[in-house]
């Protein structure tokens, strides 16, 4: 026994001493965001790490790329501002050991086009200004103002506009950016975030009185975490949390947000924002762990790189703190975890796709075509190229090609425009033929029905067919006359095979709507459709309605039998049969501008079905109207209870199955 225990101890020691598995991954893995499908998809690199000759830093917390492509870095740990060449070599170090040039924990900086360096000297609670040569020029202390008496002046980030007005982000301030002019005078606050209103706060306002509300903590806006300025004078603020809402705001001189507090994809953990000369935006997001690229409207385009807190690999970010873009579209990122400055440069594919997007978003479709062609040659799976070339073909009046490309890109708006042109051209060429075909169909319906009726009068069907046909015709009668129809159904006993036939017809129509609905109303890849899941979402609510309706109404002394509930609920599906087919046909004929026709048909269909279920419940169970509404509400609650119970049973059953399955695997493995 002692030998066995000693053997176990040695085995455990060897396992602990064994090295852990190491996982290597390319630092420039890239994804693109398909807004039409709301999904991130993999793509070849748009940006890749570039080797630099940069020095090691103690704690780089902010970074700014100047107009001359020099890179300015605020090193909080070393109390210095480092100036790097475009290749990353150290050119100048700013910050003396004593005197006016001495910095204390600087957290932000901004470089004007003239070369003046403004530093958020947080530890000294001032804004220090240095010349391009690194010599101290002046500083700005806390402005004299009654509005700032209770405010701690601890600047952390800032930008300076063309007039010399500073927009300063103070530590943990929820009031927005503090504005201060070149003379050091307070000019007010600017660009504060909106306070987040939660459901809990709304309930408190409804329930609590004024005295109780006064004791509650106010819902304050989130503080601005970073700020940037573009070449046009717009101020960009970066704000973390809020699930990306207002993560990046584009503020004009009046403080109006051009993005309208937009919810940003990959913006929940935003660190910083920068823009390039073409107006594209770049951010670093700690939540998604990516560097993200957006267009001029803050729509997500690409994401690359990743964050690893244990990294020792250049190009893999440890704890990114700031981002900047140079004139050649190189992306610079300061990393306080590794003490380095990372640089990413565009690949050939990245240069082509970004240039194509620049021209495409500017409406220069013809000029963008050669770039899209080069992108397409490198990657024919990138949906952005299909959307870009689709717009090019649409602009060139090549509507058939545009239709194909835009459908592949799931661009419903562009597809609708191309389809409109194709349909218009077809109508102009075949108007007379279509009119004749419609007239022929109408005449056939009018006289064909009369001929069929005469034929049946001469040669009536066998007696055995009369009852089933009458039951099927009742679908139309029940739909148009629900009270009379359901009273007739209550007194009749419909054959089980008729019920099965009606339900099979409903399922067939449902399958048709899944696979045959027009692209504009159902923009999905047909091969990706989960038919059983779609049918389940259609059938299960109907089945649980029958069960819940019968149970509830039985408890409430309803007269309806289970068979009658099934019959009535089946015939209540009549609007679905009669409305879905014309809606299905129209969905393949109308454009987005005319979709109100199809939407109206579907709305009327569902409302009609709801009315029929109400009437069915009232007639089958012999309730009055108010009692019917009350019992239907209880039925809906019961349906939710049944689903919750089924979910719990499924979850527990799966856990039990998994337990026995894992036990079986262990027994078979060690046996």
Question: What domains sit in the chain, N to C, each tagged with a CATH number?
Answer: 50-193+221-346 (2.120.10.30), 473-652 (no CATH)
Q: Which helix (H) or strand (E) holds 329?
A: none
List CB contacts of 139: < 8 A, sequence separation 6 or more. Answer: 100, 121, 124, 126, 127, 128, 129
248: left (phi over 0), alpha (psi -120 to 50) or beta: beta
pLDDT value at position 456?
66
The percent of residues above 70 in pLDDT, for the chain, comes to 91
Pairing of strands 281-285, 39-43: unpaired
For residues 208 and 189, is the Cβ–Cβ distance under 8 A?
Answer: no
pLDDT digits (tens, 9 = 90+) for 504-536: 999 999 999 999 999 999 988 888 888 998 999
List CB contacts of 20: < 8 A, sequence separation 6 or more. Answer: none
For residues 244 and 266, is the Cβ–Cβ distance under 8 A?
Answer: yes
Going across the sheet that includes 235-238, the strands are 226-229, 235-238, 248-251
For residues 341 and 334, is the Cβ–Cβ distance under 8 A?
Answer: yes
Going across the sheet that includes 177-180, the strands are 155-160, 166-170, 177-180, 186-190
The band of 21, judged by pLDDT with boundaries at 50, 70 and 90, is very low
The band of 12, judged by pLDDT with boundaries at 50, 70 and 90, is very low
CA distances in angstroms from 41 to 30, 234, 303, 387, 566, listed in the order given: 9, 31, 10, 15, 46
pLDDT value at position 218?
61
Q: Which residue has the tokens 């000693």?
A: 6
Token pair for 667: 């027994």
CA distances in angstroms from 605 to 521, 544, 582, 589, listed in the order given: 16, 20, 11, 19
**In the predicted structure, residue 653 carries a pLDDT above the cut 50:** yes
Please tell me the distance from the alpha carbon of residue 157 to that of residue 63, in angstroms, as a whole number.
10
| Average predicted confidence (pLDDT) for the chain | 87
Please tell me the distance from the alpha carbon of residue 315 to that of residue 49, in angstroms, as a whole number.
5
Token pair for 248: 């990046």
Mean pLDDT confidence for 435-442: 86
Higher pLDDT, residue 438 or 69: 69
List CB contacts of 29: < 8 A, sequence separation 6 or more. Answer: 42, 45, 304, 305, 306
Task: Say how many C-beta atoms besides its own lie within 10 A of residue 46's C-beta.
Answer: 23
Q: Which of 574, 416, 414, 420 is nearest to 486 (CA)?
A: 574
pLDDT digits (tens, 9 = 90+) for 598-642: 999 999 999 999 999 999 999 989 888 888 899 889 989 988 888
pLDDT value at position 170?
93
Is this prediction's pTM over 0.85? no
Token pair for 349: 């594919």
Q: Which of 235, 255, 227, 259 is nearest to 246 (CA)?
A: 259
Mean pLDDT confidence for 205-225: 70
Q: Which residue has the tokens 């409207």?
A: 297
Q: Give 442: exposed, middle or buried? Use CB within 10 Å, 0-12, 13-18, 19+.
A: exposed
The band of 442, judged by pLDDT with boundaries at 50, 70 and 90, is confident
The band of 108, judged by pLDDT with boundaries at 50, 70 and 90, is very high
Looking at 144-153, 276-285, 506-515, 595-604, which range is the least confident one? 144-153
**In the predicted structure, residue 17 carries a pLDDT above the cut 60:** no
For residues 527 and 515, is the Cβ–Cβ distance under 8 A?
Answer: no
Token pair for 534: 């779609």
**In the predicted structure, residue 16 carries a pLDDT above the cut 70:** no
Taken in order 297, 298, 300, 306, is the CA torsion positive or negative? positive
Taken in order 394, 397, 399, 404, is the CA torsion positive or negative? negative
Token pair for 316: 């893999």
pLDDT value at position 213?
60
**In the predicted structure, residue 23 carries a pLDDT above the cut 50:** no
Task: Name residue 32's beta-bridge partners.
Answer: 41, 302
Q: Which residue has the tokens 């978003």?
A: 361
Higher pLDDT, residue 412 or 667: 412
Token pair for 155: 């600047």
List CB contacts of 361: < 8 A, sequence separation 6 or more. Answer: 295, 296
């Amino acid at each position: 026994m002692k030998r066995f225990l000693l053997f176990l101890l040695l085995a455990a020691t060897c396992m602990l001493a064994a090295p852990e598995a190491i996982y290597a991954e390319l630092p420039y893995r890239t994804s693109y965001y398909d807004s039409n499908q709301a999904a991130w998809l993999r793509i070849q690199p748009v940006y890749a790490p570039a080797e630099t000759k940069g020095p090691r830093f103690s704690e780089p917390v902010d970074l700014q790329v100047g107009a001359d492509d020099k890179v300015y870095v605020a090193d909080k740990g070393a109390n210095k501002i480092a100036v790097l060449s475009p290749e990353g070599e150290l050119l100048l170090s700013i910050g003396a050991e004593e005197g006016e040039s001495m910095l204390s924990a600087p957290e932000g900086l901004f470089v004007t086009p003239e070369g003046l360096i403004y530093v958020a000297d947080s530890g000294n609670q001032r804004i220090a200004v240095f010349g391009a040569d690194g010599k101290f020029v002046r500083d700005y202390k806390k402005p004299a103002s009654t509005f700032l008496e209770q405010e701690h002046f601890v600047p952390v980030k800032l930008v300076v506009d063309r007039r010399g007005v500073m927009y300063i982000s103070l530590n943990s301030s929820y009031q927005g950016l503090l504005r201060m002019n070149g003379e050091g005078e307070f000019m007010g606050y600017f660009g504060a975030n909106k306070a987040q209103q939660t459901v809990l706060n709304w309930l408190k306002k409804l329930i609590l009185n004024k005295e109780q509300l006064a004791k509650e903590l106010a819902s304050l806006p989130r503080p601005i975490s970073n700020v940037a300025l573009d070449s046009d004078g717009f101020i960009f603020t970066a704000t973390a949390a809020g699930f990306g809402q207002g993560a990046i705001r584009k503020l004009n001189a009046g403080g109006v947000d051009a993005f309208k507090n937009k919810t940003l994809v990959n913006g929940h953990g935003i660190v910083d924002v920068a823009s390039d000369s073409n107006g594209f935006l770049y951010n670093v997001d700690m939540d998604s762990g990516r560097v993200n690229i957006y267009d001029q409207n803050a729509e997500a385009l690409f994401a690359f790189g990743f964050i690893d807190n244990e990294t020792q690999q250049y190009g893999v970010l440890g704890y990114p703190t700031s981002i900047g873009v140079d004139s050649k579209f190189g992306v610079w990122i300061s990393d306080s975890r590794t003490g380095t400055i990372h640089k990413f440069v565009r690949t050939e594919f990245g240069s082509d796709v970004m240039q194509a997007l620049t021209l495409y978003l500017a409406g220069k479709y013809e000029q963008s075509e050669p770039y899209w062609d080069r992108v397409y040659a490198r990657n024919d799976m990138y949906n952005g190229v299909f959307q870009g070339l689709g717009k090019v073909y649409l602009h060139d009046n090549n509507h058939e090609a545009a239709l194909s490309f835009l459908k592949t890109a799931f661009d419903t708006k562009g597809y609708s425009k191309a389809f409109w042109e194709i349909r218009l051209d077809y109508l102009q060429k075949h108007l007379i033929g279509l009119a004749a075909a419609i007239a022929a169909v109408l005449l056939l319906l009018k006289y064909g029905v009369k001929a069929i009726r005469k034929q049946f009068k001469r040669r009536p069907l066998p007696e055995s067919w009369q009852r089933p046909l009458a039951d099927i015709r009742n679908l139309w009668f029940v739909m148009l006359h629900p009270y009379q129809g359901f009273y007739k159904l209550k007194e009749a006993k419909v054959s089980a095979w008729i019920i099965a036939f009606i339900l099979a017809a409903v399922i067939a129509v449902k399958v048709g709507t899944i696979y045959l609905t027009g692209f504009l109303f159902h923009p999905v890849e047909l091969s990706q459709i989960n038919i059983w899941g779609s049918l389940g979402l259609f059938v299960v609510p109907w089945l649980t309605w029958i069960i819940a309706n019968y149970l509830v109404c039985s408890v409430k002394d309803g007269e309806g039998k289970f068979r009658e509930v099934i019959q009535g609920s089946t015939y209540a599906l009549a609007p679905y049969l009669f409305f879905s087919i014309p809606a299905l046909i129209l969905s393949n004929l109308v454009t987005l501008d005319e979709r109100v026709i199809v939407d109206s048909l579907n709305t009327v269909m569902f409302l009609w079905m709801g009315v029929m279920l109400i009437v069915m419940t009232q007639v089958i169970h012999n309730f009055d109207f108010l009692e019917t509404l009350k019992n239907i509400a209880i039925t809906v609650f019961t349906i939710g209870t049944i689903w919750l119970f089924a979910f719990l049973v499924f979850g527990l059953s799966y856990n039990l199955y998994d337990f026995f399955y894992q036990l079986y695997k262990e027994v078979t493995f060690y046996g």
